[in-house]
Structure 1
Amino acid sequence: MSAPRPTLADDFHKQTVGKICSDIRRFYDTKTKFRVYHGSTNSTRHANFDRDRIVDVSPLNRVLEVDREKKVAIVEPNVPMDLLVQETKKSGLLPPVVMEFPGITVGGGFVGTAGESSSFKYGFFDRTVNWAEVVLADGTEVIASEDRHPNLFAGLAGSFGTLGVLTLLEIRLIDIKNYVEVTYYPVKSVEESISKVQEETLKDENDYVDGILFAKNSGAIISGRLSDSCPHRSMLQRFSRSWDPWFYLHAEYIASKPARSTEIVPIEDYLFRYDRGAFWTGMYAYKYFMMPFNWLTRLLLNHFMHTRIMYHALHASGHTDRYIIQDLAIPASNTAAFIRFIDSRFGLYPLWLCPLPPNTRGSMAHPHSLATLPSNEPKNDQYINVGVWGPYPSSELEYVKANRELEAKVRELGGLKWLYARAFYTEEEFWQIYDEKQYRDLRKQYKATSLPTVFEKVKDDPNCRKDRFSGPGLKGQIKRILLGTNLTRGFYGIYKALKGGDYLLAKKNK
């Protein structure tokens, strides 16, 4: 499905896009590589933007139109998920794929690959987009859809802004309902959890399916059905208020019971159920600062445990250098083997399980097609996302080694990794996984060769790790001394999050 260029009489949008076109044209004429600046990030890669080499799209943060009859929304790329849901809800509509963190943006979901608990049914977030307005790297403005510039439209998915600058999208919507009827199925093994995930995706009535493995012999597979009824008030369960339980803790309690259990959850509480505590990674912050982890401390520190604050603190503290934070798409037939590898190599639990659609590879940044894979790799298999998130205290050398082992195992099992996370591949290894010729041909056709490549954007940069807490002169020396331990860096991250402001742009040189 596609649409013609929008005729919205929105002067602010036109003026903003006009400035973006002008800035990009200037960079193009001077052969200067630039980065697209959004004002925030849900990536764990090191991010530090040079103010003189950015195209600022942060003002593009509005829902311009919601059409009840056509069931579409015209949205600027910096609209976060919670705002999008709020606006579409007014018209009785809902995006079919909603990323679980409220601060993730529409543009980030489109060009950065977003697969969520409804993706087994509706596909990745990019599959819900009808068309996209894009400014090419020479400053030209185009509309890309399945009918107009179809190769660009397909290539934008998972491109991370390396083919052009996204400025507007039209997103398909579905009818909203007030609640989600959530059913928890306890599982007692890795194999049972994978089998149950696949079983639940085959049920037409299910709108959402995901799962949590708390240990290799304990977990919960969770399905959800959109509903307008709440039969009993006692069945209503919420997760958004400061005194509500974190979702994963509640699921763990439910999974400890022998039989399945069903409850009713308000729609927005379900959609953003993992926001408080960022799934379960917030638990590690309590351990890190040697604080009790109980209902009272979670209540008192609730402000810090939302994902927007946690991402700010994570980047400011530099603790992305000591955490394994990876999402991996693994063929279902190999998922058990992969989890056994994670269990023996890292011992990290909980793990997140999320079933993915058949078009998984097509939404994940130009990987080689299935036809080019070795004959021993699965060809027609459902994929399951395994979220591996947790601390890995080690030397820098061991940390890099462990991540490279993880990447090698994913490749061995026919999987792909989400590129929002840090990538430790060599350039040669990267282009053995991703189709370099097709990608570079597309960049050449749409004059995008002045933009960074996908590899340049996602590769791990050792210099960023070394320079994070350094600086010139006496001030830099004092900073290195004061932030010389992991604990003081942790407090520094909290301070920066409390202070607010920009944490991505490099300071302007005086």
Structure 2
Amino acid sequence: MPEGTAVDAERRAPGREREGTGRAAREPRAGQPAREAHQARLARVVASLRGDGAGQAAPLGLSKRTSNLFRDRAAGPKRRLDLDEFTHVLDIDPAAGWVDVEGTIRYESLVDATLPHGVMPAVVPQLKTITVGGAVAGVAIEATSFRQGLVHDTLIDFDVLLPDGSVVACAPDNAHDDLFFGFPNSYGTLGYAVRLKLKTIPVRPFVRVEHRRHAGQRAFFDDLARQCDGDADFVDGVVFSGTDLVLSAGRFVGEAPWTSDYGFERIYWRSLRERETDYLGVHDYLWRWDTDWFWCSRSLGAQNPVVRRLLGRKRLNSRFYTRVMRANARLGITRALARLRGRFTESVIQDVDIPLDRAAGFLDFLLREIGILPVWICPIRPAEGGRRFTLYPLEPGLRYVNFGFWDVVETGSPREAGHFNRLVEREVMRLGGIKSLYSDSFFTPEAFARAYSMPAYAALKARYDPDGRMLGLYEKCVLRA
């Protein structure tokens, strides 16, 4: 809908125009029939896993058409398990505040299934193609994380398919609580989540976003703390430079004088410096970053109006950009063009979490040593009084700041492999932070063991994958096996 047009809240209730679309919505919406269909799918995959020679030497891996990992992996032999059928909503209770889903449902479909009920998953990651199981086995975040924590902080219980074909139910207070707290950040090295029950939160039809500009880091981070302690429903921000920082605070509202559309010609991240206040439908707000992959579509020229129109609305999304990125990595086009100009490149695609009281220091380092801009900022606060998640041990109740920075650093002379990524890792560890493992990592085994609780991981591996049918975490995430 064009800006300046009044919007009727009842007519544009959350998700109403999309009800009945998407894979999830075409299946049984909830209840016993959906659970029976889930059990039938699970029985088939268990039989397949047990029947394909579980004792084979090749490690077990998922057969996937897409991935949101950003590290090249070795093309070694693997036994591939197909979980592509596990894309359904099994049950939803908006009043009780939960939704029960299968592990490979994408958030795009999950949002379409929950919004008609007036709720959304408590944390909706930024990209449509992220799966719920992937968001838990990895680490996922968004602008509700200042109150809800990471995706895995919103887990109620879940079922894990182990590499030997058995299925265990994990809850924070049952016999498999060690796997409940040990599964997040395990990246498919302990098993696969085939069913997950997650918290939901109520929504209203629209989100009013206030963009608060700051000329200094101290004022920005002080304001971030204030907004997190206030009544905002969403908090995130962008650093455009050391003297140009924008904090965005979003609040649900029932009516909007107009709404903005950032799904085609207009670009959301640019609007942060063009507007003080904005209104988006709740669906469009949740996917505000997907259209341009934050701002990474610049690399494809997709922010040029002519290129944008040639690509069309259907190609302006993370799904298309990911395919192009993987083709570029495979063919080495960016590296080759840089070498023709006498330049050397290193891809620095990282998300790191730093305690809030040290965030300004990390930003100083980032601007001085790495130089990537813009930088996404997202506050996180794991629930107070809770138990730490073993492999991603943020302190419960302590506020952290996620820094997301994704680009290529160019230099005029060659450096050791991973030079800039190694600088980031050392600084994160020095400041008591932690780094997500979805992209390149260069930790030594000793540093990795300290950062990610490898003695505790060894105990989990001994209990749930004693025969080593899956790769180990260091082997998969650092050695990229």
For 1:48 and 1:328, the matched residues in 2 are separated by 25
Matches within 5 A, 1:268-307: 268-286=283-301, 293-302=303-312, 303-307=314-318
CA separation of 1:92 and 1:134: change in aligned 2, threshold 3 A: same
Quick one: distance in 2 between partners of 1:67 and 1:96? Answer: 13
| TM-fit CA distance, 1:51 | 7.4
Offset, 1:16? 2.8
| 1:127 corresponds to | 153
Q: Would the aligned equivalents of 1:246 and 1:274 in 2 still touch at CA under 8 Å? A: no
RMSD: 2.6
Alpha-carbon distance between aligned partners in 1 of 2:392 and 2:99, rounded to the nearest angstrom:
30
Separation of aligned partners in 2, 1:108 and 1:43: 10
Q: How does 1:14-413 map to 2 (within 5 A)?
A: 14-25=39-50, 26-30=52-56, 32-47=58-73, 53-148=79-174, 149-203=176-230, 205-230=231-256, 232-233=257-258, 236-240=259-263, 242-243=264-265, 245-254=266-275, 261-286=276-301, 293-302=303-312, 303-318=314-329, 322-358=346-382, 366-367=391-392, 381-393=398-410, 397-413=415-431
Task: Give the AA of the match of 2:131.
Answer: T
Query: CA contact under 8 A between 2:366 and 2:372: conserved in structure 1?
Result: yes
**Does the 8 A contact of 1:219 with 1:252 survive in 2?**
no
User: What is the CA-CA distance between 1:225 and the residue it aligns to?
Assistant: 0.8
SS of the residue aligned with 2:130?
coil
Higher helix share: 1
Q: Does structure 1 conserve the Cα–Cα contact (< 8 Å) formed by 2:120 and 2:200?
A: yes
State the AA in 2 paired with 1:383. Answer: Y
Q: 1:331 to 1:15 in 2, by over 3 A?
A: same
Structure 1 residue 23, shift from structure 2 partner: 3.8
- Matched residue SS, 1:168: strand
CA contact (8 A) 1:158 1:363 kept: no
| Superposition TM-score, scaled by structure 2 size | 0.83
1:252 Cα shift? Answer: 2.4
Task: Measure the CA separation in 2 of the matches of 1:328 and 1:140.
Answer: 34
Between 1:277-286 and 1:41-50, the stretch displaced more is: 41-50
> Structure 2: where are the runs of 5+ without partners?
1-30, 335-344
After TM superposition, give the deviation of residue 140 of structure 1 in Å.
1.0
Which is further off, 422-431 or 205-214? 422-431
Code of the aligned partner of 2:474 = F
Give the C-alpha shift of residue 315 in structure 1. Answer: 1.4
CA contact (8 A) 1:66 1:73 kept: yes
Task: Answer whether contact 1:102 1:272 (CA < 8 A) is retained.
Answer: yes
The alignment partner of 2:410 has SS state of coil
- Tell whether the 8 Å contact from 1:37 to 1:49 is kept in structure 2 after alignment: no
1:381 offset after TM fit, Å?
4.7
TM superposition shift of 1:221: 0.2
Give the aligned partner of residue 5 of structure 2.
none
The 3 A distance-change label for structure 1 pair 396 and 134 is: farther
In the superposition, relative to structure 1, how do residues 44 and 364 fare at CA in structure 2: closer, same or farther (>3 Å)?
farther
- Which letter maps to 1:22? A
- 5+ residue gaps in structure 1? 1-5, 255-260, 371-378, 465-510
Residue in 1 aligned with 2:434? 416
- Give the aligned length: 432
| 1:258 matched residue in structure 2 | none
- Report the CA distance between 1:384 and its aligned residue: 0.2
TM-superposed deviation, 1:200 = 0.6
